[in-house]
Amino acid sequence: MRSDNIKKGYLKAPHRSLLKAIGLTDEEIKNPIIGVANSGNEIIPGHIHLDKITEAVKAGIRIAGGTPIEFRTIGVCDGIAMGHQGMKYSLVSRDIIADSIEIMAEAHQFDGIVVVASCDKIVPGMLMALLRLNIPGIFISGGPMLCGFLPDKKELDLISVFEGVGRFLEGEITEEQLKIIEERACPGAGSCAGMFTANSMNCLSEALGLALPGNGTIPAVDARRIRLAKFTGMKVVELVKKNIKPLDIIRFESFKNAIVVDMAIGASTNTVLHLPAIANEGQIKLELEIFDQLSKITPNICKFSPASGQHLQDLDNAGGIPAVMKELSKKGLIEKECLTVSGEKIGEIIEKAEVYDRNVIRDIENPYMKEGGIAILKGSLAPNGAVVKQSAVKENMKRFIGKAIVFNSEEDAMKEVVKGKIKEGVIVIRYEGPKGGPGMREMLSITSVISGKGLEEKIALITDGRFSGGTRGPCVGHISPEAAEGGPIAYVKDGDIIEIDIPSRRIEVRIDEEEMRRRKKEIKILKKDLKGVLEKYSKLVHSANTGGILK
């Protein structure tokens, strides 16, 4: 066992003494030692209950004859960090989380590891750590939040509140009505109820094979979640005893499965940022082109908030991710031979699955769209690519031409939208990319206000930053190269004509080559005065089309 490095032989007597100082017996020290990374804290709704999940994982480890050792990681709530400088730190935290797990696991020579998280950047950070460490390990999430309800039984979630702000500004609802939405939208523990980034990644971890079936959809408050946590603890000990590691399970085809599920369920555009970063840790190359190739052949068979009123609890009741994959397998879209941490192949898992509700998981012959939920656009504005959640864009807005209204920060754009100064056109927000932000902020606040004001059929928004999984409408993010790296978006001016054509996968700015050359000579790239972790991150990070990996 790896842990022999801290416990076996007379030379390790000092190490054993320290282990006994924390209360371990000789019997516990002899067992496989399993690290349990708990990202629980008191600020994130998706994490306030993770102590209970972690205790259940530890119970499962003990049942199977292992010794659990819990440690903590940091975590950022993207919803609370949204719309201000705090959002610059969210994507940064992904790599710090991966680093911190690596440090703990290597310093203490754990035999295996279970990583416990729920929310946006924490989940991919932990999955990155699993592949980087390549010791037997499993991921378990805290599960999705239940949706809330208005007194008239209308379903609510966090997006209802963000868009409610826009409705209030338009005079559509009163401040008292907004207060009721605020009070009822998020009823308790769990990752916010729609197919936003957290739930997207929790579902895709099943498809990858790094989490047990049910991980993405069993609600946070359901007792099945506690039982799943116990099974996770038991299973990781089995993986240690059999010496089955993440890179024995994960291969390129595993990522293809995840991307196909991504397209089918209309997952967050942030998956295009996180899956390549996770793959990179396993020396697996995942380029933007594979997302678009699979999107073109994968029907979108599910619609969840923000694209509809359905939520993760509906997907769970309909059969969950195994049922989605079973439906996709009818068209040969699933690689059934891929292994999973359950010990079963994907094919064995989906063979037992059933679709219980065709209103939630459509027949593959009757999809919402013939293509997947995400599209990759390229063109003169984004030579290296850009990302849009096409499943959340109305059909009449999939082709849009408008005049640019340019801002060098999200705050400047938000002020003008809130004042009602912008009624139509293409809002361009730049210098918000991984390097230029730095940290590539999500822009749910501004996109929600635009939707809440009823302007999503008059305004498009493009940025070298990114969007929440809760964003809907013609919003194109991840524009690469970003402005800070001298990408074309840095040279766009007010009034330039911008064309977005999602079906043709194009995003263009109508500036001729001579004019672009002139602007590149005249316009200086904006440099920000940075310090601390943001300065380090800005120096190391790659463009969004690489997954925002660090050099």
Q: Domain residue spans in the chain?
A: 31-143+191-351, 158-184, 376-546
Q: What is the pLDDT of residue 375?
A: 96
Q: Which ranges of 453-531 does DSSP label H, i.e. alpha helix?
A: 513-522
Average pLDDT over residues 6-33: 98
Q: What is the pLDDT of residue 517?
A: 95
CB 185 within 8 A of CB 156: yes
448 is catalytic: no
Give the CATH number of domain 31-143+191-351. Answer: 3.40.50.2300
Q: Has residue 468 got a pLDDT over 90?
A: no
Q: What is the pLDDT of residue 6?
A: 97
Q: Confidence class of residue 444 from pLDDT cuts 50, 70 and 90?
A: confident
Let me know if the fold of 31-143+191-351 is the same as that of 376-546: no
Give the integer Cα–Cα distance in Å for 280 and 549.
8
Give the integer Cα–Cα distance in Å for 207 and 339.
10
477-526 tens-digit pLDDT: 999 999 999 999 999 999 999 999 999 999 999 999 999 999 999 999 99
Say if residue 516 is exposed, middle or buried (CB neighbours under 10 Å; 0-12, 13-18, 19+).
middle
Strand ranges for 348-432 from DSSP E: 374-379, 382-389, 399-407, 425-429
Residue-level length of the chain: 551
Q: Has residue 51 got a pLDDT over 90?
A: yes
Say if residue 171 is exposed, middle or buried (CB neighbours under 10 Å; 0-12, 13-18, 19+).
exposed
Q: Confidence class of residue 388 from pLDDT cuts 50, 70 and 90?
A: very high
Q: Has residue 551 got a pLDDT over 90?
A: no
> Which among 272, 262, 287 has a CA at the least distance from the CA of 199?
262
Q: Confidence class of residue 469 from pLDDT cuts 50, 70 and 90?
A: confident
Give the integer Cα–Cα distance in Å for 33 and 202.
26
Average pLDDT over residues 39-48: 96
List 141, 468, 538, 543, catalytic entry: 468
Q: What is the pLDDT of residue 123?
A: 98
What is the value of pTM for the model shown?
A: 0.95
Q: What is the pLDDT of residue 471?
A: 86
Q: Hey, which residues does 69 pair with through a beta bridge?
A: 35
Q: Has residue 470 got a pLDDT over 90?
A: no
539, two tokens: 């120096």
Half-sphere exposure of 10 (CA within 13 A, CB side): 0
Is 376-546 a CATH 3.40.50.2000 domain?
no
Q: What is the pLDDT of residue 365?
A: 97
Average pLDDT over residues 56-84: 96
Q: DSSP for 260-324?
A: HHHHHHT--TTHHHHHHHHHHHTT----HHHHHHHHHHS-B----TTSSS--HHHHHHHTHHHHH
> Which among 145, 187, 148, 189 has a CA at the least distance from the CA of 47?
189
Q: What is the pLDDT of residue 310?
A: 96
Q: What is the pLDDT of residue 204?
A: 98
Average pLDDT over residues 334-350: 98
Angle between helices 122-133 and 197-208 (to 10 degrees): 30
Q: Hey, which residues does 110 pair with through a beta bridge?
A: none
Q: Has residue 199 got a pLDDT over 90?
A: yes
Mean pLDDT score across all residues of the chain? 96
First to last CA, the chain: 32
Helix (H) or strand (E) holding 52: helix 50-63
Q: What is the pLDDT of residue 36?
A: 98
Angle between helices 122-133 and 271-281 (to 10 degrees): 20
